[in-house]
Structure 1
Amino acid sequence: MAVIYPDGAAPAAPATEFFGRMRELARLHDLLRSGTARLITLIGPGGIGKTRLAAEALRRISRADPGRPVYWARLAELERDCADSAENVLRSVVRTDISDPDALDVGVGPRAGALAEHAILVLDNCEHVLAAAGRAVIDLLATTPGLTVLATSREPVGWADEYILAVPPLSSFESLQLFRQRAELTGRPVPEDPAQLAVVRRICRRVEHNPLFIRLAAARLRHQPPAMVLAELTGDATDQRMQWSQSARAGTERRHRGVYDVIAWSFDLCAADEQLLLQRMSVFAAGYETDGVTPQRNGVELPAVVAVCADDVLPAGQVVPLLERLAECSLVSTFRTETSVRWYLVESVRLFAGDRLRRDPAEVNRMAARHRRYHRDRVVAARSLWFGPREQSWLDWARTSWDDILIGIETGLADPGEALVGLETASVLLSVWVPFVKGGSRALTRLTAEALDITRAEGITEHHIRATALLGWYYLWQGEADRAAALLDECVAGRNPGSSWRDTPEIDIDLPASVEWIWGLELMLFRMDARAVTVLERAGHKFTAQGDRVGVERGQIFAALAASMLGDPDRANRITRRHLERSVASESSSAAHWARVARTLALARSAEPAAALEPAHAVVSGMSSGRDTWMTSWSVAVCMLVLTQVLTGDPAALGAAAAIRIRATELAWLVGVFRACHRSLGICIERVPMVVLGVRRATEVATAVIGPADFAAAEQRGEQFRPGGDAVREYLRHRWPVRPVVADAPVDRGEPADSRWDNLSPAEREVAVLAAAGWPNSAIAQRRGSSVRTVDAQVASIRQKLMIGSRRQIPDHIPVHLTGAVDTERATAADRPRNRRRTPRLPDRQ
């Protein structure tokens, strides 16, 4: 391979092994071999590895076609676009025949035949001379038949027939391997310690899996351990990464010496209005690359950017083209679905832009206030949408905007007026249970408590009382009964009810609706007092009088739940039946689901508990998504309590002895899943008496049938449940005993495997394990010694048989007994080049 460099010196060989990029490398290799693309541009942010990818592709081309000439022009040191840039570019790339030194005339322009036919011309680092490079490319392609131009740039060159190949960040696994290799060079290797490796993975994620940033982070190990490096990555104004720099004085380009230098190079190439929009976007939360997993919190949609960032200086009509330009420059990232685009800054860019924005303190405060009020207004809209047909779309928005919502609350805590805006946001979120649905209760309760402390000096209002009561509800579920009781006392104190008001819940002492509600929950969860039904119904009536739709539903739901678990059977039957009819008529899927939960629990406590089996199946089938861990936990609780009641009062309804053992094992598994759900929500079920009683009873009943050892084994399998997937929902849908199990059915050991898994062939199961471990199809093909086309077909078949829409849903359908195999394949992926034909050995069912 003939390679000619503008300064006569070949680039130094990479100091590190080429990592990842298998898909991009294969595509680039095919394009260069086929000649179907005349101009190929590798784009991506600084430090992402565009030059390394180009060099690796050319090495492979040289092995496949040794005689094909390659010309490599490094453009990084050229001055930015000016009058003579075009000439400089041409002087950098035009050569005739290196065997004839007299022919090397850099003072003349390109001529037909100046570059060998079928040559590859590499223009490395074009972003600062795009106009000149574009003119040079057009001239060279027009005068040199068969020439292929490969450019690396932070944005496209702009030719009409340009083939753009985006270079993504490294995968989590590849990032870990690169960090460890660079750590070896510092003399501070990272040991095979799970805790240390977990810290390194978090470091890699915080630096966006950017290879250059990973090298900079690993270089910090010369002076401090990984935990201290991670502590420098706070994501806020105290973050230290902008001070990181290359310690090496040779072999490093000026624009790659530190995180700051990398981003500043791109920022300085932007126009003033582009820079302004980027700075203003720093008020939004950072986004992250997600290794192919659909993100729940990645970026904002266009209306949010316009509402927060647009004004007279930056008109709304300019936002879209400016966003697109910033995305072209690899400063703004995007996440796309079939119907939308979300825009975000990765954390490093957000920190850089935020630092620029803070140079004008008044502008920082103005942008933060607009951001806070935009999200407050969107959150408050839940009052009219919740428990209605549009609640799911609002909840989807809240999930994706969660980080921004919390940032809006937190950044306002320094000012009582702004803290009051945040308190309003927090109280609405607490009222519609979003933290439990989302799994972010601890952060929100902390911010709510801080906002209450800051705003009390301004005077206690009904708004404060409502937020205080709602905060008490979360403390109850976290088992902090004393804190919840103190908040309830605080809410009641101004009413002068006397010292024994808790002893007479049947008497209305004129408490606000929200205070009645938290009092009813205290009676229900901690005192297990049937009078909780009276208090909760009274709260519902007061919410109705206020026109508080969300409060009405909240009161009715828990009145029905309290009646189903604590009330006498006749009253429970009457209340839960009426509540179900009303909820179904509301067209709210969540209201109907909660009503079915209460109705099923009431049936389970009736004289014929087996009558609850069919409704319990309906509860599980009605779950809209496994992402709602709060709803999943209650659905599991229904199945757990119904099965406990049936095994206790009517075991024959489940079939013969073998079938009863199957269901007792399943009950043990449900106990484990129930614990896993609440652990992920930050709820300590061992400190909530009503929950403790239910779990204890289920444990006793199941243990009496299968014994302590089998119970412990099944419970442990249940505790391996990963909240957020659909595995539990799908398992219970297919396996829940709506009808008795026949006596000769094989004994199930409580394995929560998706029954669709059994439809996969042995080869498809092996491929599914590798796919679940994060292997791309090309690597799976290498591993199994098959073609990529074959693996593509197998993955398509797997998706069809599992009835899923995306490859990323495969992990949700891996049986529990294979999760160890998935973890092993993920951990041993480094062996892929040495073990291409080894297939994963799937363990037998235990």
Structure 2
Amino acid sequence: MIYPDGAVPAASATEFFGRERELARLHDLLVSPTARLITLVGPGGIGKTRLAAEALRRTDPGRPVYWARLAELDRDCGDSAENVLRSVVRTDISDPCSFDLGAPGHPGARSEDAILVLDNCEHVLAAVGRVVLDLLSGTSDLTILATSREPIGWADEYLVAVGPLSPAQSLELFRQRAELTGRPVADEPGQLAIVRRICRRVEHSPLLIRLAAARLWHQPPAMVLAELTGGADDQRMRWSQSIRSGSERRHRGISDVIAWSFDLCCADEQLLLCRMSVFAAGYETDGVEPQRNGVDLDAVVAVGADDLLPPERVAALLERLAERSLVCTFRTENSVRWYLVESVRLFAGDRLRRDPAESARLAGRHRRYYRDRVAEARSRWHGPAEETWLTWARTSWDDILIGIETGLAEPGEALIGLETASVLLSVWVPFVNGGSCSLARLTAAALEVTRDRADSPHRVRATALLGWFSLWEGDTERARRLLNDCVAGCLPKRAGNDSWRRNPETDIGLPPSVEWVRGLELMLFQLDPLAVMVLDRANRKFTERGDRIGIERAAVFTALAAAMLGEPAQADAITRVHLDRSVAAESSLSVHWAQVARALALARSAEPAAALGPAYSVVSGRFAVGDTWKASWSVAVCMIVLTHVLSGDPAAVGASAAVHARAGELAWLTGVFRACHRSMGVDVERVPMMVRGVRRATAVATAIIGSAEVAAAEHRGRQYRPGSVMVQQYLQRSWPIIRDPVVVPAVPGAERWDVLSPAERAVAVLAAAGWTNSAIAERRGSSVRTVDAQVASIRQKLVIGSRRAIAGHVPDELARTVDAERVASGRRGRRRPGSR
């Protein structure tokens, strides 16, 4: 059907929300003399037709508009579809001479600056392409506005991508549609939160939101959300059985929307789409780089390619599926990640499961791929390469968990999942990613499935590491039981005999992971200085096995235990050596924890103000958004250092007004500390070491500002949203900047310079010459985070409070080198603009 001259379908203008950016782009294109073909591209139900109608409604009212709905035409069938299209266009437009398609290029052809809308082109693409070519070559003023799930393919086609609604627009649409059912959504935070989650689960798609809102006729929002599990029991594909959305059959339900596009794909495209369903679903991110979204091409090839679908074809097929709006992409400056939104993943997964053997085979390949990638941490840990691995692990977290979860039905596959879990439990990713509870749950489930494989080393390691999680959660009984299970499994003769607990200094032959958890139990719950000995013993055993992850993990907690429980001399020696080794290894993660331990050790020394510099190094370092683990330890360092300074040397932070202010900050930090740990499932009140730190901080703050101010500040801290960058920003802005210097040891500057490692001296020279950390990293071929850590260590060792003070400590014999590097830095800065 073609609507008459100037008419725009009224139905298409209803319920229009947002799209200001797309409307502005369309306005510019519709008035441009060079934009002859404009195509709105996006998945089914995303609102392309409504967007076109709204854009035309806002254009020049005197401009002729003709609207051709093509949805009811049969799928592309060669010349017949083209003839039907030409016939429809030629006979239905009010002035046939304006669009004489039978004679393209005829001198009399005219279009009166008209706009022709070709709505829903994807199924008659070849015919539309030929007609568009004839129209645009035969008329000079015609503009064609097309809507399609993929581009038309004309050489000078302007594409406008139509994406999901914003969360706010989705909520508004849902509430408006809910009114139609007679079941309005209450203006209550809990109900609105549920609706926001529903909108996110249906990808903020207008059509899917309307279908979800229609379910309110049958059940409340909470039950609608419960139907959207994302798994095999997800109910959204059944919504179409009792719901109609408009008159077009392809929009009657979610399955119909996706099937319309799926049926247009070739066999290889359909095959790859089904195989992509083994990966985790992705989501639109509004241009913000997500913590986890999509997979790279290597993963798709490794899991989905075989003789039937050769590896060399996968990239082209992915691009074709993306053009068809079935596969989505997330792009950065130098990478592309591919994903299916949840609804498409469910559709494709249902098709894949029609062949159970093939579905199981693909799931197994997926599981092993992520097991192998996770296992790479064993060789990359405690060095510069760990950052790359950590970034990959964070972005791949959902797929890693899916690999573990889908293997729980069979013991052999569950063991593969346990191997994956044991590596993850060994590093910081679960806490960094906020996924510790999910990983712990899946690990426990895998241990149950593999209970008949008690001799597996993966089981022993995973059991011990699960005990670590239980310790942090404050679940002492579970941790004790898991540790007992490990001892019984490794040393059957000691089953039921607790004598090994009473003599921790005795080595009874436990594996290193079990020794390590035993040391943590002594440290966190018994506050026993012998924890240092046990953790150091675990370190030696990890070293004998060449376990880099274990070595680093044990070294970190040996230093932390020494810093918090050991004698001052022991704490000073262990934390100093650990920091030097970490800096030498160029491991930014290791340096962070070494700085934490060093600051804690100095806080307990005779001059607690000496900890202010190292503490600032901790909080001024970089950490990823959502890294609650690092944030919580940064808060802990500030809390403990301030506690010792305010109780032992308050003048170090200034006059009485400053002391009062810092006491208020200390009380606030106790609240933030609780909030951070609560978000990770850690109950501070159930972990004695944490209880001791918080209580002492509260007591010191109370002695200075009183209980009322402490309670108010602590309450404000509890309201802080963990995982946000605001915690780090606050600490970097407000943490006491040390007065340069706060404590000046009786050590000449030259001797302090000699304390620096060779790598640190090289970095210090460049820093003194004015090179930025990023420029130093580029010059030295290392990461920015490594240089950040080195500069922080330099400042600590030179006992200075700012980077600028480094120049004052460079020996005279290196002055010319600094001058030369300063000149080089200036040349580098002048070259940069022209090099782009």
What TM bracket, shorter-length normalisation?
A: 0.7 to 0.9
* Residues 10/558 of structure 1: CA separation in 2 closer, same or farther (3 Å cut): closer
Q: Which amino acid aligns with 1:54?
A: A
* Residues 105/610 of structure 1: CA separation in 2 closer, same or farther (3 Å cut): closer
Match of 2:501 in 1: 502
* Cα shift at 1:116: 2.6
Q: Which amino acid aligns with 1:531?
A: L
TM-score (norm 2): 0.85
Match of 1:92 in 2: 88
Q: Which amino acid aligns with 1:234?
A: T
Q: Which amino acid aligns with 1:155?
A: E
Runs of at least 5 residues in structure 2 that lack an aligned partner in the other structure: 742-836
Runs of at least 5 residues in structure 1 that lack an aligned partner in the other structure: 743-846
Deviations 1:500-540 (A, max 9, x none): 22111111111111111000000000011111111101111
**CA distance in structure 2 between the aligned counterparts of 1:352 and 1:473, rounded to whole angstroms:** 39
* Residues 529/127 of structure 1: CA separation in 2 closer, same or farther (3 Å cut): same
Match of 2:180 in 1: 185
**CA distance in structure 2 between the aligned counterparts of 1:104 and 1:664, rounded to whole angstroms:** 81
SS of corresponding position for 2:38 = strand
Q: Which amino acid aligns with 2:57?
A: R
Match of 2:511 in 1: 512
* Residues 107/299 of structure 1: CA separation in 2 closer, same or farther (3 Å cut): closer
Deviations 1:45-71 (A, max 9, x none): 00000000000111111xxx2221011
Q: Which amino acid aligns with 1:33?
A: V
* Residues 475/438 of structure 1: CA separation in 2 closer, same or farther (3 Å cut): same
**CA distance in structure 1 between the aligned counterparts of 2:10 and 2:544, rounded to whole angstroms:** 77
* Cα shift at 1:37: 0.7
* Cα shift at 1:117: 2.0
**CA distance in structure 2 between the aligned counterparts of 1:401 and 1:283, rounded to whole angstroms:** 13
Correspondence 1:141 to 2:136: yes
8 Å Cα contact 1:180-1:190 kept in structure 2 = yes
Q: Which amino acid aligns with 2:464?
A: A
Deviations 1:101-124 (A, max 9, x none): xx8999956655555321001000
Matches within 5 A, 1:331-730: 331-494=326-489, 495=491, 496-497=493-494, 498-730=497-729
Correspondence 1:50 to 2:45: no
**CA distance in structure 2 between the aligned counterparts of 1:250 and 1:685, rounded to whole angstroms:** 51
**CA distance in structure 2 between the aligned counterparts of 1:371 and 1:273, rounded to whole angstroms:** 19
SS of corresponding position for 1:34 = coil
* Cα shift at 1:591: 0.9
**CA distance in structure 2 between the aligned counterparts of 1:8 and 1:79, rounded to whole angstroms:** 27
Deviations 1:257-314 (A, max 9, x none): 0000000000000000000000000000000112343211110000000000000000
**CA distance in structure 2 between the aligned counterparts of 1:699 and 1:229, rounded to whole angstroms:** 45
Match of 1:244 in 2: 239
Match of 1:161 in 2: 156
* Residues 105/423 of structure 1: CA separation in 2 closer, same or farther (3 Å cut): closer
Deviations 1:136-195 (A, max 9, x none): 011001111111000000000000100000001000000000000000001110011111
Correspondence 1:294 to 2:289: yes
Deviations 1:748-783 (A, max 9, x none): xxxxxxxxxxxxxxxxxxxxxxxxxxxxxxxxxxxx
Match of 1:24 in 2: 22
Q: Which amino acid aligns with 2:48?
A: K
8 Å Cα contact 2:13-2:53 kept in structure 1 = no
SS of corresponding position for 1:165 = strand
* Cα shift at 1:97: 6.7
TM-score (norm 1): 0.84
Correspondence 1:36 to 2:31: no
**CA distance in structure 2 between the aligned counterparts of 1:99 and 1:546, rounded to whole angstroms:** 85
* Cα shift at 1:647: 0.5
**CA distance in structure 1 between the aligned counterparts of 2:369 and 2:449, rounded to whole angstroms:** 22
Q: Which amino acid aligns with 1:476?
A: L
Q: Which amino acid aligns with 1:381?
A: E
8 Å Cα contact 1:626-1:632 kept in structure 2 = no
* Cα shift at 1:246: 7.5
Match of 1:172 in 2: 167
8 Å Cα contact 1:127-1:155 kept in structure 2 = yes
8 Å Cα contact 1:640-1:671 kept in structure 2 = yes
**CA distance in structure 1 between the aligned counterparts of 2:93 and 2:639, rounded to whole angstroms:** 80
* Residues 500/246 of structure 1: CA separation in 2 closer, same or farther (3 Å cut): closer
8 Å Cα contact 2:246-2:252 kept in structure 1 = no
Match of 1:791 in 2: none
Q: Which amino acid aligns with 2:657?
A: A
8 Å Cα contact 2:13-2:50 kept in structure 1 = no
8 Å Cα contact 1:44-1:166 kept in structure 2 = yes
* Cα shift at 1:675: 1.7
**CA distance in structure 1 between the aligned counterparts of 2:440 and 2:522, rounded to whole angstroms:** 22
* Cα shift at 1:250: 8.5
* Residues 95/118 of structure 1: CA separation in 2 closer, same or farther (3 Å cut): farther
Matches within 5 A, 1:782-801: none
* Residues 76/397 of structure 1: CA separation in 2 closer, same or farther (3 Å cut): same
* Residues 107/629 of structure 1: CA separation in 2 closer, same or farther (3 Å cut): closer
Deviations 1:82-115 (A, max 9, x none): 1311111112223587379xx8999956655555
* Cα shift at 1:358: 0.5
> What is the root-mean-square deviation of aligned Cα atoms in Å?
2.1
**CA distance in structure 1 between the aligned counterparts of 2:666 and 2:450, rounded to whole angstroms:** 48
SS of corresponding position for 2:116 = strand
8 Å Cα contact 1:6-1:73 kept in structure 2 = no
8 Å Cα contact 1:537-1:559 kept in structure 2 = yes
**CA distance in structure 1 between the aligned counterparts of 2:167 and 2:298, rounded to whole angstroms:** 32
SS of corresponding position for 1:334 = strand
Match of 1:827 in 2: none
Match of 1:834 in 2: none
8 Å Cα contact 1:285-1:407 kept in structure 2 = yes
Q: Which amino acid aligns with 1:654?
A: V
Match of 1:311 in 2: 306
**CA distance in structure 1 between the aligned counterparts of 2:440 and 2:101, rounded to whole angstroms:** 70
Match of 1:774 in 2: none
* Residues 95/114 of structure 1: CA separation in 2 closer, same or farther (3 Å cut): farther
* Cα shift at 1:652: 1.4
SS of corresponding position for 1:606 = coil
SS of corresponding position for 2:706 = helix
**CA distance in structure 2 between the aligned counterparts of 1:106 and 1:622, rounded to whole angstroms:** 69
SS of corresponding position for 2:450 = helix
Q: Which amino acid aligns with 1:568?
A: E
8 Å Cα contact 2:664-2:710 kept in structure 1 = yes
Matches within 5 A, 1:745-784: none
**CA distance in structure 2 between the aligned counterparts of 1:249 and 1:736, rounded to whole angstroms:** 59
**Structure 1 stretch displaced more, 89-98 or 328-337:** 89-98
8 Å Cα contact 1:560-1:576 kept in structure 2 = yes
Match of 1:779 in 2: none
**Equivalent of residue 222 in structure 1, options 211, 217, 223:** 217
**CA distance in structure 1 between the aligned counterparts of 2:586 and 2:95, rounded to whole angstroms:** 81
**CA distance in structure 1 between the aligned counterparts of 2:508 and 2:525, rounded to whole angstroms:** 21
**Equivalent of residue 203 in structure 2, options 196, 205, 208:** 208
**CA distance in structure 2 between the aligned counterparts of 1:155 and 1:502, rounded to whole angstroms:** 67
SS of corresponding position for 1:287 = coil
